[in-house]
Amino acid sequence: MKICFRNASLLDMVQGMQIKENMQVWTEDGKISFVGTDASAELFLRENDVTFQRIVDCKNNLLMPGFKNAHTHSAMTFLRSKADNLPLQEWLNHLVFPAEAKLSEKDIYALTKLGILEYLQSGITGICEMYLTPDSIAAACVDMGMRCTLTGGVNNFSQSVDDLKRWNKELNKMNELIRFVPGFHAEYTCDKSLLCEIAGLAEELKTPVFAHVSETRKEVEECIARYGMTPVAFLDSLGMFRYGGCGYHLVHLQEDDYEILKKRGVYAVTNPASNLKLASGIAPVSRMLKEGIPVAIGTDGPASNNALDFFREMYLVSALAKVREEDPSAVSGEEVLVMACKNGAYACATPDSDCIAPGKNADMVLIDLTQPNMRPLHNIVDNLVYAGSKINVKLTMVAGRILYEDGVFYTGTEQEEIYEEAERIANRILG
């Protein structure tokens, strides 16, 4: 499948944030095969025999790398707006965990598909997924054409280090859309012996590790009471992040934590909407950037957000940093877009999705600049971060396949079928 995008305003993000006009991008077999001016492309085409299956006239709209949702639990769609107004621990123990206990692999497959529709509509081309049944989540993503990095959510009650080993072996060769990186739920749901085992696996495989870390003040206080160290310091003391990884949330950090995260090259994945809604706090994103810690962005699951809207997350990353630091210059639009597109790709262990250049993954989004929220056009990057909306997503392409265009999904599954299945599961479990 060879597709040509012409007449594009291109934000390739190879270097800096310069937008180039009248550009052309070709995709082939899931990769980007050409990037150049319309003029140079036309010249080449006049002299060479190239056939495209589709030519997309971008009409000067903005072609850019897709957003990477670096932390989510997609199948929690079934709990959307059914678990509001509760603090994290109560929310987890009294509502989420009992409901999740009733989920089958097949349920999670179906509910993940609902999440994927929302991602595509929001310009998300890759997700990092931590949930109960990686196999069926991977199947849902492959069937819909979505790029997905899976991680384990090992804890005292479900999943095991053996599961991590198996997934690491099997899922990493399952499909080019799928990656697996070992992970566990959080310090507070894992015994020390279990955590040591996971750290041992990380050493054995020389792999990064993903986990929820320092999401709430309570979590940090209890870890200090238990081990005399913050979660960041304690996990590091076990050798957990020797090969890097992702720390989800990282809302409550203490002075020494920054140094550890930086030294270990851990990606801080911030989830601002979820942290607000569960009243967990506002992450110190500005400080993390100053310390040189790479930050990526996640929606978290739809039970705690309740949307999977990357425009909302991007706005919040910047706006919350400003109010937290009482400094309106904290965390610029450009910095947020780097987190959303590039850092997200690295955090998800899919570095080839970071920018638009020949040989890179064809994971792109076409942004509609003809909507009123994008006008005037004097600063498109800030328009995107501070005023962007799902309404601006004209087209979402993952691995060279157009999965969403002008409000219509091309994922191989009927939208209505996904909705009906999700309602059925939600009704069965929640009554």
CA dist 273 → 251, 283, 332 (Å): 12, 11, 18
Q: How far apart are the first and last CA of the chain?
A: 45
Q: Which is nearer to a second copy, 47 or 406 (CB)?
A: 406
Q: Report the C-alpha gap between 145 and 175 in whole angstroms.
A: 10
Q: Which is nearer to a second copy, 330 or 355 (CB)?
A: 330
**Residue 14 found at the interface with a second copy (CB under 8 A):** no
Q: How far is the CB of 11 from a second copy (least distance, A)?
A: 15
Query: Do residues 79 and 303 lie in contact, with contact meaning Cβ atoms separated by under 8 Å?
Result: yes
When binding is defined by CB under 8 A, the residue of 333, 341, 356, 362 that contacts a second copy is 333
Q: How far is the CB of 58 from a second copy (least distance, A)?
A: 17
Q: How far is the CB of 179 from a second copy (least distance, A)?
A: 24
When binding is defined by CB under 8 A, the residue of 154, 308, 314, 317 that contacts a second copy is 308
Per DSSP (E only), the strands in 214-348 are: 245-249, 266-270, 295-297
**Residue 339 found at the interface with a second copy (CB under 8 A):** no
**Segment contacting a second copy (CB under 8 A): 33-41, 97-105, 165-173, 317-325?**
317-325
DSSP 291-310: TT--EEE----TTTT----H
Q: Which residues 20-79 are close enough to bind a second copy by CB under 8 A?
A: 77-78
**Segment contacting a second copy (CB under 8 A): 21-29, 125-133, 227-235, 389-397?**
389-397
**Residue 378 found at the interface with a second copy (CB under 8 A):** yes
Six-digit token string for 319: 């706006």
Six-digit token string for 116: 């994927």
**Segment contacting a second copy (CB under 8 A): 192-200, 241-249, 258-266, 326-334?**
326-334
**Residue 408 found at the interface with a second copy (CB under 8 A):** no
Q: Which residue has 């020797």 as its token pair? A: 242
Q: Which is nearer to a second copy, 291 or 325 (CB)?
A: 325
Cα-only R_g, the chain: 21
Q: How far is the CB of 132 from a second copy (least distance, A)?
A: 19
Q: Which residue has 């157009």 as its token pair? A: 402
Q: Which residues 117-156 are close enough to bind a second copy by CB under 8 A?
A: 117-118, 121
**Segment contacting a second copy (CB under 8 A): 16-24, 27-35, 168-176, 319-327?**
319-327
**Residue 207 found at the interface with a second copy (CB under 8 A):** no
Six-digit token string for 219: 């979590």
When binding is defined by CB under 8 A, the residue of 189, 383, 396, 411 that contacts a second copy is 383
Apex 325 CA angle, 319 and 330, nearest 5: 55
**Residue 375 found at the interface with a second copy (CB under 8 A):** yes
Q: Which is nearer to a second copy, 70 or 422 (CB)?
A: 422
Q: How far is the CB of 88 from a second copy (least distance, A)?
A: 8
Q: Which residues 83-122 are close enough to bind a second copy by CB under 8 A?
A: 84-88, 91, 114-115, 117-118, 121
* Those residues with Cβ within 8 angstroms of residue 78's Cβ, 6 or more apart along the chain or in another chain: 99, 103, 107, 111, 422, 425, 426, 429, 430
When binding is defined by CB under 8 A, the residue of 158, 322, 357, 413 that contacts a second copy is 322
| 360 class by beta-carbon count within 10 Å (0-12 exposed, 13-18 middle, 19+ buried) | buried
Q: Which residues 256-275 are close enough to bind a second copy by CB under 8 A?
A: 273, 275
3-state class of 392 per DSSP?
helix
Q: Which is nearer to a second copy, 195 or 384 (CB)?
A: 384
Query: Do residues 178 and 142 lie in contact, with contact meaning Cβ atoms separated by under 8 Å?
Result: yes
Q: Which is nearer to a second copy, 101 or 377 (CB)?
A: 377
Size of the site for a second copy (CB under 8 A): 72
| 60 class by beta-carbon count within 10 Å (0-12 exposed, 13-18 middle, 19+ buried) | middle
* Those residues with Cβ within 8 angstroms of residue 308's Cβ, 6 or more apart along the chain or in another chain: 69, 72, 74, 115, 118, 119, 122, 124, 299, 302
**Residue 382 found at the interface with a second copy (CB under 8 A):** yes
When binding is defined by CB under 8 A, the residue of 377, 410, 417, 428 that contacts a second copy is 377
Q: Which is nearer to a second copy, 240 or 418 (CB)?
A: 418
Is the sign of the CA dihedral 92, 96, 98, 104 positive or negative? negative
Residue span 210-249 as binding mask against a second copy, x where in contact by CB under 8 A, dash where not: ----------------------------------------
